[in-house]
Structure 1
Amino acid sequence: MNLVKAELFKIRSTSTWWIFGLISLALWALALLANWASSNFTADVDPAEQGLTGDEAEQVRVAQAAVNVAANLYTSGQFFGVLMVMLLGAIVVTNEFFHLTATTTFLVTPRREQVIFAKLAASALFGVGFWLVTTLLNLLFVPFILNSLDVGPQLGEPAVWRAIGLNALAYALWAILGVGAGVLIRSQIGATIALSTIYVIGTFGASTFFLLLTPRIGEWFSKLQVLVPPLASQLMISGTELPGNPPRWVGAVVLIGYAVLAGGLGTWIMKRRDIT
């Protein structure tokens, strides 16, 4: 516990966390406006008039359901929010090398796995903190948006609260992924640039890849999108099961698997890597 408190103090004693926090707030506002605009647009779309296949039309109808519209809005900001907590998790590790404090840290605590576990826990706690702030803001503003859409706040729906809760899990897991990535990429600037590029370009690239190949290979191929971490976390926060998509729990299992792999690999590497 003392090590976790020490790691939390290290994060709080730098300006990085609140800079990322301010960026997250700005991106959250943009995401909420974008989701509002999207909900307004899709509310007037009749799937039967769009020339869609039966399965595609059913997907649109389910997405238009009030509970799914609400779940989407109440989890606004996740896409870039988890990117921010991942970068923060990476910097928790790379800061040690950037400021040349790694040697001192491991001399004070020779059992390196304890240090890494403390960094994982502290990063996850900060990730949940970022989730809490954006969720409170969503709970404040989204009911007004839903009322403007004539669907009501939907806060009595268990599916909405399940999506909000799974969103918290996603934030914590992405923070753990960041710590693992920070062990692999020691450079602070290198980690920030590499992870941001891979996350943003990789997500849209993967979506395009599956979109182009699914008609040629088959519908089963599109379900493999859940193996892409950002798409797995988006699946987790869907209100109800979406036709043509794996269950939400599959997205959670995939993301947990990546987090365990990143955390475990990071701990193993740090225990064996020379620190100078």
Structure 2
Amino acid sequence: MSLARATRSELTKQFTTSMWWILALVMFLYVGVTAGGLGGTLGAVANGTLGPDAVNGPALPVDAVPPVVYSIATSVGYVFPLLIGTLMVTNEFRHQTLTPTFLATPRRGVALGGKVGAGIVMGLLYAAVGIVAAVGIGAAALAALGLDTLLDRSETWAMIGRMVIALVLWTLIGVGAGTLIRNQVAAVVSVLAFTQFIEPILRTISAFIEGLSDVAKYLSGAASDALVGASIYTSLGGTDASGGGLDWWVGGLLLLGYAVVFLLLGWLFSWRRDVS
């Protein structure tokens, strides 16, 4: 079977289940509500609706508000493509459908390549969902408060393009994690524990411990923020909005490196093993 056919086969598997659209719907609601709420709050602070007495800390510059609101799609929503990428592989281990997959595609490299190809497509789909939610609802909230949405600027659309790349790479990281960790519960718990608890804690305390910030900026979430160029965590935390000082292309290469490493480790230590 060719790589193109393997990719089509993997996409057929995805779209014949309900998990993909359930996660996409939850992503749209979660990202949309967060972007709308954040846009309303930051916009009210920026235009003076919320006065200094109601604000705890300095307000963001007006031109910095839209990028932070739009980047909610990646800074918050990345967990959804990460999960769908993980489930793409672990579902096969859990439901023991990997055996017929390998019988249909005996060359395991092609089979894994098919999952990578399908992961790219799913990443693009989830990127569209997240960006429509964040930019659409966030821009509407900003416009309602009389703020410039900055959607007429090339810099904004360049950032949105980088958001697409980031969300696709998060999907591939999920595919790699699911390939490496065969047990579905263990894989899902591992990616959620690291991305939602361990890494945020490390990035938070790095601001208070000398030298730790030099390490924290190379974590996956920081690399994603650097690639996008804006993030609620870095902007409101008083640090560099680009994710710790890394150039956007360095953050992109670093995030790509995480995906490649997970895929290679999964190939070496799990994918080539016998399937029970």
| TM-score, length-scaled by structure 1 | 0.83
Aligned to 1:35: 38
Give the unaligned 5+ runs of structure 1: 53-59
**Are residue 129 (structure 1) and residue 125 (structure 2) matched?**
yes
Matches of 1:93 and 1:257 in 2, distance apart? 20
Aligned to 1:176: 172
Q: What is the CA distance between 1:186 and its match in structure 2?
A: 1.0
- Taking the TM superposition and a 5 Å limit, the aligned residue runs for 1:90-129 are 90-129=86-125
Alpha carbons of structure 1 residues 253 and 100: separation in structure 2 relative to 1, 3 Å: same
Give the unaligned 5+ runs of structure 2: 232-239
Q: What is the CA distance between 1:174 and its match in structure 2?
A: 0.7
Once the two structures are superposed, what CA deviation does each residue of 1:223-272 show, in whole Å capped at 9, x if it has no partner? 54321111211222226985862222221121111111112222333453
- Give 3-state SS (helix, strand or coil) of 1:122's partner: helix
Aligned to 1:56: none
Q: Which amino acid aligns with 1:253?
A: L
Aligned to 2:7: 4
Alpha carbons of structure 1 residues 232 and 23: separation in structure 2 relative to 1, 3 Å: same
Please say if residues 85 and 126 of structure 1, whose CA atoms lie closer than 8 Å, have aligned partners that are also in contact. yes
Alpha carbons of structure 1 residues 270 and 193: separation in structure 2 relative to 1, 3 Å: closer
Aligned to 1:234: 225
**Are residue 261 (structure 1) and residue 258 (structure 2) matched?**
no
Please say if residues 10 and 114 of structure 2, whose CA atoms lie closer than 8 Å, have aligned partners that are also in contact. yes
Matches of 1:254 and 1:153 in 2, distance apart? 30
Q: What is the CA distance between 1:169 and its match in structure 2?
A: 0.5
Alpha carbons of structure 1 residues 204 and 268: separation in structure 2 relative to 1, 3 Å: same
Q: What is the CA distance between 1:108 and its match in structure 2?
A: 1.6
Matched residue count:
259
Matches of 2:247 and 2:221 in 1, distance apart? 16
Alpha carbons of structure 1 residues 146 and 34: separation in structure 2 relative to 1, 3 Å: closer
Please say if residues 135 and 164 of structure 1, whose CA atoms lie closer than 8 Å, have aligned partners that are also in contact. yes
Q: Which amino acid aligns with 1:238?
A: G
- Taking the TM superposition and a 5 Å limit, the aligned residue runs for 1:1-276 are 1-40=4-43, 43=46, 64-66=61-63, 68-214=64-210, 217=211, 222-238=213-229, 242=241, 245-276=245-276
Q: Which amino acid aligns with 2:152?
A: G
Please say if residues 24 and 80 of structure 1, whose CA atoms lie closer than 8 Å, have aligned partners that are also in contact. no
Q: What is the CA distance between 1:160 and its match in structure 2?
A: 0.7
Q: What is the CA distance between 1:163 and its match in structure 2?
A: 1.0
Alpha carbons of structure 1 residues 31 and 234: separation in structure 2 relative to 1, 3 Å: farther
How many percent of aligned residue pairs carry the same amino acid?
Answer: 28
Q: What is the CA distance between 1:35 and its match in structure 2?
A: 2.3
How big is the alpha-carbon RMSD for the aligned residues of Structure 1 and Structure 2?
A: 2.7
- Give 3-state SS (helix, strand or coil) of 2:209's partner: helix
Alpha carbons of structure 1 residues 38 and 238: separation in structure 2 relative to 1, 3 Å: farther
- Give 3-state SS (helix, strand or coil) of 1:211's partner: coil
Q: Which amino acid aligns with 1:181?
A: A
Please say if residues 180 and 262 of structure 1, whose CA atoms lie closer than 8 Å, have aligned partners that are also in contact. yes
The 4+ residue runs of structure 1 with deviation greater than 4 A are: 44-47, 239-244
Alpha carbons of structure 1 residues 33 and 143: separation in structure 2 relative to 1, 3 Å: closer
